[in-house]
Amino acid sequence: MTSATGELANPATIALPGTSARAQARWIARAGIVGLAVATTVALRLTMVLPDVPNRHALTDDAARRVMLDVDAADALIGGDLLELAGSVVASETGSLLRLVSAPAHVLAGSAHALAVELGVSLGFTALLLLVLGLAARCVGRSAGEAVVILAISTLILLGNRDLLGQAVSGTLEMPSAVFTLASAAAWLASRASRTYRPWAVVLLGNALFHVSFQDGLMLAAAVLLVEAGEAGWSRPPSAVLSALFRGARSPVGLPLLALGLTVLLGGWWLVRTGGLSATLFGQEVSLRDARDPVALGAPLLFLFVEYAFWHERVWLAAEIPRRARFLWKWLLTPMVAWVLVPFTWRLQTLAAGAASGGDRVGPGSVQEWLLSTSRTAGEAWVPSGAPWIVVALLCGSILAAIRSSVTRRVLVSLGALVLFEVAFLTVLRHGNLQAPLIVHLAPLVALCAVAWVPAVTRTSRLVLGAGAAAALLWAVLPLWRGPELVATLSRGFESTANGDACREVARALPISRGVLVNETAPDRFATCALWVKLFARERGAQVLIREPWNRPGRHEVLLLEDGTVPTGLRSGLVPLGAQAHHGPVRGERYLAEAP
């Protein structure tokens, strides 16, 4: 039933084809129960072996930096400093949504269990991934039998993925990103089946993904928008957008906006090239000396011009671009772009830096080598290490089934577009140097593509083929979940045991009450050492400044950590306090500094 405007009666509802609202709720409940059972079993198994992981105290660089931000947010929450808490969430490039979960968990657990909280949050998202997979299986299958076969095979594909499981309890963002990527893709599948004009679930889950990993959120939103806009033809939307921008630039409001944005961008760049400038504003020194500053100020003005041009030509765009694509631009991609362009949060600069330093460029004669490297990377990130050809055979079956089944075709086109777009975008952004950790969050989508053939076959064929594929995968995956093998897999998500133990023991042996950390350790243990200094100081109720200069004014303590990899700097006026501490390659010593 449609309204007078031609929209569905309940546009916000994602209904599955051929089901009533009550039947839909019943199917979702059943899928959720099965997924919850699988998630609980996996979570209990991972919890049992986690204490045996020898290097669980050595977080990766990105994870350690995020944990330090999480405990800062928790301290702000304890102290009632809501402004600092909001700043740590809004200004963070990645993981801002998780901070809203981690910070209260740190407050409840206490300062002595900071690492356990972070690993527990990561484990919770691993369980949530399997729960969401159970719900996504219902979006691919049309009946309970189909959903069970889809869930069984796709779950086994994920449980055999060493790269994905390596992030299960590591505190990194790969697992949360995989959860929200899968949830967004499943919501998009359901909305395309129901043809609702306002897929709010896609918008909410996609923006949640952005606030977990902004690059993954942007790529998903762009891929979804391209597919939706492409339904009107691949030439009409681009020409309509260019026409709207041209007409907007000729309007009385659009022309000043465009001129102001270009002036700030180009003028600021010229000022930086000529030495920059500085001024005092309201008692604070404001400077323009970095090339990132004019970009941070000019890009929001240019985006404001684009938004005005689209609004000014909204009638023209409504005739040329599908309604779902316009809705997704307005509510899915526009908020993400606006967050990227918030001045001095450096998200835009992070994207530019990734493109500038993405690795070695692919030469004209190395295309074959690049294709082999990309295929190898995809194999590592998406398929079980012991059963790659099983997954390849299943994917080939889905491609053949798409010829006769519209349901299979819709799944492959939707999920395949997301996967291929992100791989292509990352390949260009990284200059061909694609790595498995960059695409491992797409593994659940590939697993669903591998079982997209299920709705296209008869019940007997489904049972026979499903049982055979599940048995073969189980035979290949089961050894991975034995104790020693699972411990080795989980260890892949952390740094070396030597780094973690060295940093932790030296930080424990050198307590300081209030001071500054001088961290001169190697890059592979730099963040881990800083993290353990911060965590032990937090347990004692002390405060150690991680990013402040050691010669800051006033009387304070200085904790020096070094491992011989960084040349010793000139530091005068430091009085040693107590003995040195050694553990492995890391050496630490306390000093008293008195600066004017």
Q: What is the largest CA-CA distance in the chain?
A: 84
Long-range contacts of 24-33 (CB under 8 A, 24+ apart): 27/138, 27/144, 27/147, 28/135, 28/138, 30/144, 30/147, 31/134, 31/135, 31/137, 31/138, 31/147, 31/151, 32/131, 32/134, 32/135
Which two tokens mark 162? Answer: 């060493």
The pLDDT-based confidence of 9 (bands split at 50, 70, 90) is: very low
Q: Considering 321, 348, 376, which residue would you say is the last residue of a domain?
A: 321
For tokens 């919890």, name the residue. 47
Which residue, among 138, 567, 188, has the nearest Cα to 414 in the 3D structure?
188
Q: Which residues pair with 592 in a beta bridge?
A: 557, 575
The pLDDT of 219-230, averaged and rounded, is 92
- The pLDDT score that the predictor gives to residue 355 is 60
Q: Is residue 342 part of a domain?
A: no
Q: Is residue 443 part of a domain?
A: yes
Answer whether residue 15 shows pLDDT above 80: no
Distances (CA, A) of 470 to 330, 391, 401, 454, 485: 42, 11, 19, 13, 21
| Per-residue pLDDT tens over the stretch 400-454 | 999 888 889 999 999 999 999 999 888 887 777 788 888 999 999 999 999 999 9
Query: In terms of domains, do 204 and 273 share one?
Result: no
Query: In terms of domains, do 245 and 204 share one?
Result: no
Q: Considering 421, 446, 480, which residue would you say is the last residue of a domain?
A: 480
* Alpha helices in 345-387, H assignment, sequence order: 347-356, 367-382
Q: Is residue 226 part of a domain?
A: yes
Q: Considering 321, 350, 371, which residue would you say is the last residue of a domain?
A: 321
Q: Which residues have CB under 8 Å from 246's CB, separation 6+?
A: none
The pLDDT-based confidence of 351 (bands split at 50, 70, 90) is: confident
Residue 455 DSSP SS3: helix
**Distance of alpha carbon 75 from alpha carbon 103, whole angstroms:** 8
Query: In terms of domains, do 165 and 262 share one?
Result: no
Residue 116: how many other CB atoms lie within 10 Å: 13
Q: Is residue 527 part of a domain?
A: yes
- The pLDDT score that the predictor gives to residue 335 is 94
**Domain around 504:** 497-595
**Distance of alpha carbon 390 from alpha carbon 408, whole angstroms:** 19
Q: Is residue 355 part of a domain?
A: no
| Per-residue pLDDT tens over the stretch 60-108 | 988 998 898 898 888 888 888 888 777 777 766 677 888 888 889 989 9
Query: In terms of domains, do 219 and 268 share one?
Result: no
Which two tokens mark 317? Answer: 């765009």
Judged on CB neighbours under 10 Å (0-12, 13-18, 19+), 215 is buried
Query: In terms of domains, do 400 and 466 share one?
Result: yes
| Per-residue pLDDT tens over the stretch 476-510 | 999 999 999 999 999 999 988 888 899 999 999 98
Query: In terms of domains, do 282 and 139 share one?
Result: no
How far, rounded to the nearest angstrom, does the alpha carbon of residue 506 sit from its chain's CA centroid? Answer: 32
Which two tokens mark 476? Answer: 């290949």
Beta pairing, strands 554-562 & 586-595: antiparallel
Q: Is residue 190 part of a domain?
A: yes
Q: Residues 181, 183, 188, 189: is their CA dihedral positive or negative?
A: positive
Q: Is residue 9 part of a domain?
A: no
The pLDDT-based confidence of 364 (bands split at 50, 70, 90) is: very low
Mean pLDDT estimate for the chain: 84
The CA angle 60-68-124, to the nearest 5 degrees, is 70
The pLDDT-based confidence of 14 (bands split at 50, 70, 90) is: very low
Answer whether residue 179 shows pLDDT above 90: yes
- Which residue type is seen at 193? A
**Distance of alpha carbon 215 from alpha carbon 112, whole angstroms:** 33
| Per-residue pLDDT tens over the stretch 506-523 | 999 988 878 888 888 988
Beta pairing, strands 514-520 & 543-545: parallel
Query: In terms of domains, do 181 and 292 share one?
Result: no
Which residue, among 539, 545, 569, 568, has the nearest Cα to 558 in the 3D structure?
545
Radius of gyration of the chain (CA): 27
Query: In terms of domains, do 222 and 89 share one?
Result: yes
DSSP secondary structure, 286-332, as one string: EEE-STHHHHHHHHHHHHHHHHHHHHHTHHHHHHHS-HHHHHHIIII
Answer whether residue 12 shows pLDDT above 50: no
Query: In terms of domains, do 60 and 99 share one?
Result: yes
Of residues 197 and 93, the one with the higher pLDDT is 197
End-to-end, the C-alpha distance of the chain in Å comes to: 77
Query: In terms of domains, do 102 and 212 share one?
Result: yes
- Which residue type is seen at 534? K
The pLDDT-based confidence of 52 (bands split at 50, 70, 90) is: very high
Q: Is residue 6 part of a domain?
A: no
**Number of domains observed in the structure of the chain:** 3
Query: In terms of domains, do 92 and 188 share one?
Result: yes
Query: In terms of domains, do 201 and 250 share one?
Result: no
